[in-house]
Amino acid sequence: GNDNNALSQFKESMMTTFDMTDLGKMRHFLGIEVIQDNQGIFIGQQRYAKEILEKFNMDKSNAVCSPVVTGTKLSKHDEGEEVNPTQFKQIVGSLMYLTATRPDIMFA
């Protein structure tokens, strides 16, 4: 209809003004999955979450609903394997981005 014609004209106008390519409907934006259908536009982070697990070799770990009881006080454990500080920062940063885009999983 008229909406499709207006969209086509807008795209053509933009392509003559700017060096650009029409890639179709957006599927990803800043690592966020974008699903567009007749029901609406939806975003998800399942793929990004799986990529984080694979990147840090945790994709074979057992899933749990809540990894720690709320209110648990953590203390330093002198024994055990030393943590790589760079990798730890990468994991925390990845999880911060994930929870910023999916606040519903903040306490998962």
CA distance 89 to 34: 27
For the question of whether the overall pTM of this predicted structure is more than 0.85, the answer is no
Q: Is 44 helix (H, G, I), strand (E, B) or coil?
A: strand
Give tens-digit pLDDT for 78-98: 787 888 999 999 999 999 999
CB distance 90 to 57 below 8 Å: no
What residue type is 107 in one-letter code?
F
| Token representation of residue 92 | 């925390």
C-alpha atoms less than 13 angstroms from C-alpha of 38 in its C-beta half-sphere: 0
69 φ/ψ angles, rounded to the nearest 5 degrees: -70, 135
Of 50, 43, 57, the C-alpha closest to 100 is 43
Task: Transcribe 36-62 into DSSP letters.
Answer: EETTEEEEE-HHHHHHHHHHTT-TTSP
Q: Which of 96, 98, 107, 91 is nearest to 45 (CA)?
A: 98
pLDDT, tens digit (0-9, with 9 covering 90-100), for 64-75: 777 778 888 888
Is the confidence at residue 102, as pLDDT, over 90?
no
